[in-house]
Amino acid sequence: MICIFYIHSTITYAQKNGEINHKIIPPFALIKSFPNSYNQNGEYIGLKELHQYCFLPNELEQKNILRAFRQKVHLYQDYLILIKMFAKKTSYPERKAIYLDLYEYYKKNPPENEKLETFMEGFQTSLLDTTDQNKTEYPNSLPFPTIDFDGDKQTDLIAIPSGYFGPSYGFRTYGLVNGTWQVLWSAGGDFNEILKKNNTIILRYRNLTIDETETDVLHNVLYDLDKKQTNYSKFYYADTTELPKKMLEIPLKCSFKPNFKLRIFPKVVNLPIAPKNDEGMPAPNGKCLYGNVTAEFDKPAEGYILAKQGKWFLVAVSPNFEPKKASFWHGMDGYLNEETGQYSDKPFWKPYLLGWVEKQFVK
């Protein structure tokens, strides 16, 4: 079991007006334990708890959402899923009106390398073919992919079920950033928990890990019911990270001296990693760089102290500071650039890095 921490990101997403606040936010911490490895055959407890917030937007908001999604070619499959979900409780005349609206749009903005009639077949099936519209290929789907946390009948998040290699099932989740829907994460896995704390909705999602050297990735959405703002943050940590004896009730902001290292337990172990016995197989490139070191920083950095244990601190290093070297990686944590259509294996949203640091490097 490992302890997971929620801390506000340095970026605040204003869900309703699309503003981004770059001001540093005081940390918010939630301590929670769950198994080291994600089990795709689990009970989806977090998913079931999320159902109560799923809702069907009114027809005007449906049109606004669809209009936003249809302008991005790489969102095509998600677009079809949204249409199919909306069509379940939308009148036939309204569905036909949406289809005709789409037809006129793509007639003026024709798809590349495909005939218009062929391109429109998917929309025709989703909107007008009632025999197919209630089927789903995903075992862990939500009642609706549109989520309303504060009950104002406006969409706060969009979580679309997706299939990944394996197959492994998960979600592509969108939030409003600068007034446009952007992907917060896209990965196999599932929602682990949703709860209400101090008038804030806390939602967490954990990536599925397949390769034994992959890091654990935890996504956090915190929705402020008073301010109607959504905060998103992400954390990387090794599942073998040692639990502290006692956590700080409130994390302490701190800075780190140059040449500090993150470790999976509070002890200096710098032994090299032995290569695998199999000939031709490379040595592991995850969990640790060597010994119990997960990351090296040659420059000063900032972050938060989460626990104190003797001459060691368990810390979260801010996403604003890049390590010189790190063993943290996950095969499904890259992103697709909306402008170029190119995929990058580097994460779009930079994560907090969690680990143990010697007290002498913390001030």
> 58-62, 70-74, 308-312: which has the minimum mean pLDDT?
70-74
**Would you say residue 81 has pLDDT above 50?**
yes
Decide which of 81, 98, 128 is a domain's last residue. Answer: 128
Q: The dihedral of CA 219, 30, 178, 153: what is its sign?
A: positive
**Would you say residue 8 has pLDDT above 50?**
no
What is the C-alpha to C-alpha distance for residues 285 and 264, in angstroms, rounded to an integer?
15
- Written as six digits, the tokens of 191 are 């929602």
pLDDT tens digits along 196-240: 888 888 888 988 888 888 888 888 888 889 988 888 888 899 888
Three-class SS of the chain: CEEEECCCCCCEECCCCCCEECCCCCCCCCEEEECCCCCCCCCCHHHHHHHHHECCCCHHHHHHHHHHHHCCHHHHHHHHHHHHHHHCCCCHHHHHHHHHHHHHHHHHCCCCCCCHHHHCHHHHHHHHCCCCCCCCCCCCCCCCCEECCCCCCCCCEEEEEEEECCCEEEEEEEEEECCEEEEEEEEEEEEEEEEEECCEEEEEEEECCCCCCCCEEEEEEEEECCCCEEEEEEEEECCCCCCCCCEEEEEEEEEECCCEEEECCCCCCCCCCCCCCCCCCCCCCCCCCECCEEEEECCCEEEEEEEEECCEEEEEECCCCCCCEECCCCCCCCEECCCCCCEECCCCCCCEEEEEEEHHHEC
Tell me whether residue 259 is in a domain: yes
For residues 238-262, b (16+ Cβ closer than 10 Å) or e, as one string? bbebbebeebbeebeebebeeebbb
**Would you say residue 2 has pLDDT above 70?**
no
Q: Give the model's confidence band at 7: pLDDT under 50 very low, under 70 low, under 90 confident, else very high.
A: very low
Tell me whether residue 210 is in a domain: no
Spatial contact of 224 and 199, defined as CB atoms under 8 Å apart: yes
Tell me whether residue 294 is in a domain: yes
Mean predicted confidence (pLDDT) in 235-252? 85
pLDDT tens digits along 119-145: 888 778 777 775 554 454 566 678 889
**138, amino acid identity:** Y
pLDDT tens digits along 101-118: 778 878 887 877 788 888
Decide which of 128, 160, 177 is a domain's last residue. Answer: 128
- Domain extent, residue 109, equals 59-128
Mean predicted confidence (pLDDT) in 20-41? 41
Tell me whether residue 180 is in a domain: no
Rounded to the nearest 10 degrees, the angle between the axes of helix 76-87 and helix 59-70 is 160
Tell me whether residue 315 is in a domain: yes
What is the C-alpha to C-alpha distance for residues 234 and 206, in angstroms, rounded to an integer?
10
What is the C-alpha to C-alpha distance for residues 124 and 47, in angstroms, rounded to an integer?
30
Tell me whether residue 225 is in a domain: no
Tell me whether residue 142 is in a domain: no
Q: What percent of the chain has pLDDT over 90?
A: 27
**End-to-end Cα separation, the chain, in angstroms:** 29
**Would you say residue 257 has pLDDT above 50?**
yes
Residue identified by tokens 């950095």 is 301
pTM value is 0.79
Rounded to the nearest 10 degrees, the angle between the axes of helix 92-108 and helix 121-128 is 170
pLDDT, residue 82, reads 84
pLDDT, residue 115, reads 85
Tell me whether residue 286 is in a domain: yes
For the chain, the domain total comes to 2
Decide which of 106, 128, 150 is a domain's last residue. Answer: 128
